[in-house]
């Protein structure tokens, strides 16, 4: 089989499509014929060796995997050959076959296409876990989302809107702002507008109940200051690339507010059953068309380098998907 593999972490040029033998699934594992693997911000970090965890080498990128079951290892129940399955793991998806853990896999409903299902996995898992498990987000509450046109942010916009929330999105430029409004945001503000906080205050004079923040940077403190009393700021990521922001400790005190971390990887390590439950909820919502995957472009496995290059495009809206 063919796999896009790197023998060291670094630039995309350090990776190439190679022929590899197909392995056999061990106990608790499933062998998938890969149909689609979604890529996002995290995959580019992992490839460059800039993620919190460095994978063992050689490394095949792509952890948001959808494929058909070809074989199962000992002790695997609930999965059968031919079934379409989604799995989330550290890598292995940019290949014609992938061996995944049954504990991190769920069945994909028949109505969902492979590419769409793959594009829902990490962003919607993170957004759901952040909003509802870590954020205690409830219908009718107001939510401010940074990076609202991006993968994780746009998933938060959709999930909050679908749950009856009042959503304000921060994005840049007309096309991205229109996109965020179409996903269900009640108000979209351009974070480059120096008056965006004043506009937010016009709509929410007492502040917002929750902030969902995959961006950080200079927006971090401004967003925390936009919280209502007893509000909660969910720290999801630092996509701005401006380093790790700091917060004066008097601000949580003055707000009776909270800062809560959201780490989907930790959830996967500590509670894989919860990951399965959340993915089942997400696929159910997608099947009922309450949420939908946003895909910017789809590439063949041979074009995996171009797929990684397109991740860095400033005009990208949505996931990049590779279909081996």
- Using CB under 6 A, list all residues that contact ligand NAP: 40-42, 122, 126, 146-147, 149-153, 171-172, 176, 191, 214-215, 217, 219, 236-240, 262-265
Token pair of 139 as six digits: 């219908």
Q: How far is 157 from 180, CA to CA, in rounded Å?
A: 8
Which residue, 83 or 240, is less far from ligand NAP as judged by CB?
240
| Cβ-closest position to ligand NAP | 150
Which residue, 189 or 219, is less far from ligand NAP as judged by CB?
219
Shortest Cβ 247–ligand NAP spacing (Å): 17
CA atoms within 13 A on the CB side of 142: 21
Which residue, 25 or 169, is less far from ligand NAP as judged by CB?
169
Which residue, 28 or 173, is less far from ligand NAP as judged by CB?
173
CB 197 within 8 A of CB 177: no
Shortest Cβ 260–ligand NAP spacing (Å): 11
Which residue, 72 or 293, is less far from ligand NAP as judged by CB?
293
Shortest Cβ 242–ligand NAP spacing (Å): 6
Shortest Cβ 117–ligand NAP spacing (Å): 17
Q: How far is 237 from 233, CA to CA, in rounded Å?
A: 12
Q: How far is 217 from 200, CA to CA, in rounded Å?
A: 19
Which residue, 15 or 129, is less far from ligand NAP as judged by CB?
129
Contacting residues for 287 by C-beta, under 8 A, at least 6 apart: 109, 111, 112
Q: Residue 178: left if φ>0, alpha if ψ -120 to 50, beta else—which one?
A: alpha
Element spanning 283, H or E: helix 272-287
3-class DSSP state of 33: strand
Token pair of 108 as six digits: 């994909």
Shortest Cβ 149–ligand NAP spacing (Å): 4
Shortest Cβ 299–ligand NAP spacing (Å): 16
Angle between helices 114-128 and 151-162 (to 10 degrees): 80
3-class DSSP state of 23: coil
Which residue, 29 or 64, is less far from ligand NAP as judged by CB?
64
CA geometry: angle at 54 spanning 51 and 57, to 5°?
Answer: 140
Supply the DSSP symbol for 156.
H
Which residue, 76 or 188, is less far from ligand NAP as judged by CB?
188
Shortest Cβ 83–ligand NAP spacing (Å): 27
CB 81 within 8 A of CB 70: yes
Shortest Cβ 186–ligand NAP spacing (Å): 18
Shortest Cβ 193–ligand NAP spacing (Å): 12
Strands 84-88 and 64-72 turn out to be: antiparallel
Cβ atoms within 10 Å of 171's Cβ, excluding its own: 28
Which residue, 67 or 214, is less far from ligand NAP as judged by CB?
214
């Amino acid at each position: 089989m063919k796999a896009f593999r790197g023998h060291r972490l670094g630039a995309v040029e350090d990776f190439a499509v190679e022929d590899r033998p197909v392995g056999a699934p061990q106990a608790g594992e499933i062998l998938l014929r890969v149909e689609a693997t979604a890529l996002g911000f995290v995959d580019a970090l992992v490839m460059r060796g800039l993620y919190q965890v460095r994978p063992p080498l050689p490394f095949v990128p792509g952890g948001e995997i959808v494929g058909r079951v070809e074989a199962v290892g000992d002790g695997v129940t609930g999965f059968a050959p031919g079934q379409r399955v989604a799995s989330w793991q550290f890598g292995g998806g940019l290949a014609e076959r992938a061996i995944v853990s049954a504990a991190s896999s769920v069945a994909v409903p028949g109505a969902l296409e492979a590419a769409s299902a793959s594009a829902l996995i990490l962003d919607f898992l993170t957004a759901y876990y952040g909003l509802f498990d870590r954020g205690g987000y409830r219908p009718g509450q107001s939510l401010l989302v940074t990076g609202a046109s991006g993968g994780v942010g746009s998933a938060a916009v959709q999930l909050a809107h679908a749950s009856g929330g009042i959503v304000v999105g921060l994005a840049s430029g007309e096309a991205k702002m229109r996109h965020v409004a179409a996903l269900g945001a009640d108000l979209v503000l351009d974070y480059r507008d120096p008056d965006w906080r004043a506009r937010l205050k016009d709509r929410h004079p007492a502040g917002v109940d929750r902030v969902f923040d995959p961006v950080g940077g200079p927006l971090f403190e401004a967003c925390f200051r936009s919280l209502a009393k007893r509000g909660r700021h969910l720290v999801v990521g630092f996509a701005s690339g401006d380093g790790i922001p700091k917060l004066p400790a008097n601000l949580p005190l003055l707000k009776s507010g909270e800062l809560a971390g959201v780490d989907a990887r930790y959830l996967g390590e500590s509670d894989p059953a919860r990951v399965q439950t959340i993915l089942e909820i997400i696929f159910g919502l997608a099947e009922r068309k309450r949420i939908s995957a946003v895909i910017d472009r789809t590439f063949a496995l041979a074009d995996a380098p171009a797929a990684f290059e397109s991740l860095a495009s400033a005009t990208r809206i949505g996931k990049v998907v590779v279909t081996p």
